[in-house]
Amino acid sequence: MQTIELRNRPKIVGSYSIVGPKEGEGPFSKYFDYVMKDDRLGEKTYEKAECKMMELAITGAVQSAGLMINDINLLLAGDLLNQIISSSYAARAFNMPYLGLFGACSTMAETLAIGAILVNGKHFKNVACATGSHFSTAERQFRFPLELGCQRVPTSQWTVTGSGASIVSLDGNGPVISMVTFGKVIDLGVNDINNMGAAMAPAAADTLSSHFEGTKTKPEDYDLILTGDLGKLGSEILVDLMEAKGFKLGKNYSDCGHSYYTRNQDTMCGGSGCGASATVLNSYVVKKMKQKIFKKVLFLPTGALMSTTANQQGESIPGVCHAIVLEAEE
Amino acid sequence: MQTIELRNRPKIVGSYSIVGPKEGEGPFSKYFDYVMKDDRLGEKTYEKAECKMMELAITGAVQSAGLMINDINLLLAGDLLNQIISSSYAARAFNMPYLGLFGACSTMAETLAIGAILVNGKHFKNVACATGSHFSTAERQFRFPLELGCQRVPTSQWTVTGSGASIVSLDGNGPVISMVTFGKVIDLGVNDINNMGAAMAPAAADTLSSHFEGTKTKPEDYDLILTGDLGKLGSEILVDLMEAKGFKLGKNYSDCGHSYYTRNQDTMCGGSGCGASATVLNSYVVKKMKQKIFKKVLFLPTGALMSTTANQQGESIPGVCHAIVLEAEE
């Protein structure tokens, strides 16, 4: 059984999203808390900007919960950079215990899942969960220097510049994290680093079907089933894989990456990166749940667990997908 | 309060350690479960060997617990490589949910702490916790290609080639994980990547003093207080820092890295890497606790959370330290 039920009903009592200028021109624009004027945030490097974004997201989430930084007992965070430096260097700014996590682009669900379990078990009162990504740091770390101006292939995605943070607590108001499902590492042999959607879709299908089977629910039981950054192609593959497993994903299924940019923003298969699902969850989803427009949401971002070294050594790309169930407060 | 008490008494019911040839010539030699004949394990690259080591450690730990792989409900693992590929690619070999963690060399404690909480809360029956490191992958990722033959400075340490794994469960026999203490990120401005001990010692001092104060214990209450890879210099700094905080660490204090190699093995300040504390804990410490030679152990490995990018951008090195209390079964 991969799914855990959280009987004490931990809630997302605070949330915050900060995004780059390009992201601020997309369909979720009006839901984001802060759109940066430039994607360096006044810092000398993109890496320092990525770290600063996360600091601002955490601070913003704490404020949105009506709390003070000192009320937060634990920070759970992770990101895509080598040795998750955005998270660890952001953690330095806060005087609280810190757990570094790595789930690639599944990190928002991983932090929320562990955070919710810790709060549910009354081990900590208020925990902060955060992640983020930056287009320019991801490009130069995983692909090519921006200055090269490499042409993008049709299956590629655009790493979201943005960071999202949530505060989880038993006290306060917000969507309830009622269940978490931890995913297995699934690798069907895709080794094209320009086609992450195809690499990660099987992990999403595995976690999603385990979740439905374990909880005896079906796709129609959710107002929204939301993957992270499978993108246009990856989310179509997921629909196919789920159909083969006997589950029909309908209009209530969506993918943050696929919906992140408009057609004319030229991002090929859509958005990607930890920031994609983190900023959509902590803006659009939380707001719509507070308005009771969504009453039950299954949020399941996926992560591609490869590195450039693994890829250069001929390895394929393993994927993982963690899921959380969010329920609007009654 | 950073310390959590685990009232259901989760135990380390299985453990396994695998090390490289050089490590097999050190003082802990007779306690290790497996000493590799060569540090490539028949793989084409050192990275693949590091991954294979972890697979073997997990499999060995499961066997030592008298369980089957299918009895394990969750794997928690992390390592030093970019995007923790050793762990994620090792996880691919096992059909179980996986949580990737990053705490640099504090990872053994981080996996055990979260694993023990999950088992204590009866969310999972048996969980596997693993980490490891490899001299040759760490050198080329963090420092220089081995072929350059760079001279080592006196404060440098030698990354341990080795992997350790534990199985945590409420059923079975072994040392009880009675408490866990999560640490804060501490950065006092050290930016010398050849002096990790100095960078990490303040984090150890912070977690250790928080632990003593939170639990109202003192150094004499433990048969062994064991840090991870502070090394010769870092462990001396810790003793000084603790004295300044009013705690006198005596002969019951030791550091895995400092004790890992003999003087004539030419490792300057001693061993380092996730593998140092992971292999000592899962061999020497667990065995001595089963013999009741140690009845109460405070295990607190530290991690340096920097990356080469952060260092090249002039950043200092933040440290973190997570602690667990182990008690021999009554």
- Confidence (pTM): 0.98
Q: Contact B45/A92, CB-based, under 8 Å?
A: no
- Cα B190 to Cα B192: distance, rounded to the nearest angstrom: 6
Residue A193 confidence (pLDDT): 93
pLDDT (tens digit, 9 = 90+) per residue, B162-193?
999 999 999 999 999 999 999 999 999 999 99
| Chain B CA closest to residue A101 | B101
Query: How far, in Å, are A267, B13, B77, B216, B326 from residue B7 at the CA level?
Result: 51, 17, 24, 17, 13
What are the pLDDT digits (tens) for A124-168? 999 999 999 999 999 999 999 999 999 999 999 999 999 999 999
3-state SS track over chain B: CCEEECCCCCEEEEEEEEECCCHHHCCCHHHCCEECCCCCCCCCCHHHHHHHHHHHHHHHHHHHCCCCHHHCCEEEEEECCHHHHHHHHHHCCCCCEEEEECCHHHHHHHHHHHHHHHHHCCCCCEEEEEEEECHHHHHHHHCCCHHHCCCCCCCCCEECCEEEEEEEECCCCCCEEEEEECCECECCCCCCCCCHHHHHHHHHHHHHHHHHHHHCCCHHHCCEEEECCCHHHHHHHHHHHHHHCCCCCCCCEEEHHHHCCCHHHCCCCCEECHHHHHHHHHHHHHHHHHCCCCCEEEEECEEECCCHHHHHCCCCCCEEECEEEEECCC
Question: What's the pLDDT score for residue B330?
Answer: 80
* Chain-centre distance for alpha carbon A147: 28
Chain B residues with CB inside 8 Å of A78's CB? 102
pLDDT digit string, tens, across residues A196-238: 999 999 999 999 999 999 999 999 999 999 999 999 999 999 9
Interface of B with A in 199-238 (CB under 8 A): none
What are the tens digits of pLDDT across the range A299-321?
999 999 999 999 999 999 999 99
- Residues of chain B with C-beta less than 8 angstroms from the C-beta of A186: 92
Average pLDDT over residues A34-43: 97
Whether A330 shows a pLDDT value over 90: the answer reads: no
Confidence of residue B36 (pLDDT cuts 50, 70, 90): very high
Distance from the A304 Cα atom to the nearest Cα atom in chain B, whole angstroms? 10
Q: Please name the member of A83, A117, A185 whose beta carbon is closest to the beta carbon of B118.
A: A117
Specify which residues A79 forms β-bridges with.
Answer: A132
Q: Does A83 touch chain B (CB under 8 A)?
A: yes
Residue B227 burial by CB count (10 A; 0-12/13-18/19+): exposed, middle or buried? buried
A11: left (phi over 0), alpha (psi -120 to 50) or beta: beta
**Confidence category of residue B227, pLDDT binned at 50, 70, 90:** very high
Residue with tokens 């396994």: B16
Residue A258: pLDDT band by 50, 70, 90 thresholds?
very high
pLDDT confidence band for B53 (50 / 70 / 90) = very high
Judged against a pLDDT cut of 90, whether residue B194 lies above it is answered with yes
Give me the pLDDT at residue A1, please: 79
Q: Which residue of A has its CA nearest to B71?
A: A1
Contacts of residue B243, Cβ cutoff 8 Å, sequence gap at least 6: B249
Residue B122: pLDDT band with limits 50, 70, 90: very high
User: Given a cut of 90, is residue A91 above it in pLDDT?
Assistant: yes
pLDDT on residue B1: 78
Who's near B192: CB < 8 A, 6+ residues apart?
Answer: B155, B198, B199, B317
Q: What percent of chain B has pLDDT over 90?
A: 99
Place of tokens 């199985």: B167
Q: What is the mean pLDDT of residues B40-46?
A: 97
ipTM of this complex prediction, to 2 decimal places: 0.98
Q: Under an 8 A CB cutoff, do A97 and B123 touch?
A: no
CB contact residues (below 8 A), chain A span 105-164, against chain B = 110, 114, 117-118, 120-121, 123, 141
Residue A261 DSSP symbol: S
